[in-house]
Structure 1
């Protein structure tokens, strides 16, 4: 069965590259764009439920613009959905990504100058020049220490996840301003140059290899039905969770017992990444 979350098809159009597109739909090639707001909700339907989020500068392919909504597919994980057309901007050559938990764009190369907007971890910008402590970008001036060149990756997914400690829990969230369990894992892995799908079920099915029970190593993934966490060490994990309503560190065994006691079942998989 085709997964609607990663198949660019709706009631009117289908991506031209699909080999089994339903008959009667217009086949379209799609056009390149980037997210042009700090955070955009990726919705299941216009004005519908949020599935995921996209942050500034993420590349997308737009397959339809209709009634103020853009039907698109995200480059990072092939997730499909709708965003307001006003959330998009023309393609630009991104050179850097926000590797700090979050940052501000300033109107001048001075931390006392007015800030123009905030950006989450993972946002992509185009550097226009350097001014020492700041890089001038297409959005203004950003502290240089908050940016990394595209292609420069972090080395430890668990350390990236720790950057999000205290971030509010948000169902379907993918930013420092609000994130859920699979969003945290995806942010951690993508920052390390590791492909990662958007939802915990996909992550359980597609990431890593099964590890020995309770042989916990930093960077392992623990899965429950509808939930995922990153192992920090032999005793603790880090996850975005609705119990704390935040990204938090928790003893592994306490988390396992609590999650089962609240009715969400036992650990369904323990995976180790290459």
Structure 2
């Protein structure tokens, strides 16, 4: 089972331990590549290609690739669009519904391929372009408004704070790491909240000083973030203020710029 693989279902949980009851630490989307590092019965321990994240998953959710197929970066450029209706149909006629930002390997002339398996792509895919970041970042982020919070989630139907900003950036052609504590090490420091602009990421810490939350600035006084659900809240130098709870919920630590 060792070697190169790709996720062959719409979304697959990546778990902390090799058991179905274990915590979900992240998710793989269709077309995400992994290297299998270890194998145990139905479980395998993998490292993702796109963000070097590690976890356990059910090997039946993977399709084997050759080293050549795995490393052919040019063949993983197309993504599913910002729409609710991203459909694939395999040669047996089975339909797969994909979340926005899923990868369509070896896409050409309306079809994508996983190993020897062919899928007809029913909705128009696209190649993200970082030069459109400023024009598209607001609409891309707001597409996920009211998506429920899900620890480890990366889809429209459940997403965590770092999964949310990672997915928004991926749809705009930019690569972020998986967790807020990793993402904060990327980007350029923005000195003052008053200098923050749309698309910057704000990071928040707990009492121990550990980064535990991230959100995306819409302006220098508004933030969109996943907390309970993807929502828009006011932010000031203290942090995020939740009007419903009438209190500050997250303490601001630092703001980073990536574009």
Please say if residues 239 and 250 of structure 2, whose CA atoms lie closer than 8 Å, have aligned partners that are also in contact: no
Distance change >3 Å, CA 189–CA 128, structure 1 → 2: closer
Aligned residue for 2:168, secondary structure, equals helix
Please say if residues 7 and 33 of structure 2, whose CA atoms lie closer than 8 Å, have aligned partners that are also in contact: yes
Distance change >3 Å, CA 235–CA 95, structure 1 → 2: closer
Which one is further off, 38-47 or 213-222? Answer: 213-222
Please say if residues 125 and 139 of structure 1, whose CA atoms lie closer than 8 Å, have aligned partners that are also in contact: no
Distance between the aligned counterparts of 1:234 and 1:200, measured in 2? Answer: 20
Segments of 5+ residues of structure 1 without an aligned counterpart are 1-27, 109-113
* Aligned counterpart, 1:3: none
Q: TM-score, normalised by structure 2?
A: 0.78
Q: 196, 205, 220: which one pairs with 2:176?
A: 196
Large movers: runs of 4+ above 6 Å: none
Q: How does 1:65-214 map to 2 (within 5 A)?
A: 65-91=39-65, 93-94=75-76, 96-105=78-87, 107=89, 116-126=95-105, 129-130=108-109, 135-137=110-112, 138-144=118-124, 147-149=125-127, 152-153=129-130, 155-156=133-134, 157-214=137-194
Please say if residues 225 and 232 of structure 2, whose CA atoms lie closer than 8 Å, have aligned partners that are also in contact: yes
Distance between the aligned counterparts of 2:106 and 2:140, measured in 1? Answer: 23
* Aligned counterpart, 2:257: 272
Which one is further off, 81-90 or 158-167? Answer: 158-167
Aligned length: 231
Deviations, residues 200-238 of structure 1 (Å, cap 9, x unaligned)? 111123333133133231111111121111011233221
Segments of 5+ residues of structure 2 without an aligned counterpart are 70-74, 113-117, 206-211
* Aligned counterpart, 2:215: 229
Distance between the aligned counterparts of 1:79 and 1:140, measured in 2? Answer: 29
* Aligned counterpart, 2:209: none
Please say if residues 187 and 256 of structure 2, whose CA atoms lie closer than 8 Å, have aligned partners that are also in contact: yes
Within the alignment, does 1:37 sit opposite 2:16 as a pair?
Answer: no
Q: TM-score, normalised by structure 1?
A: 0.74
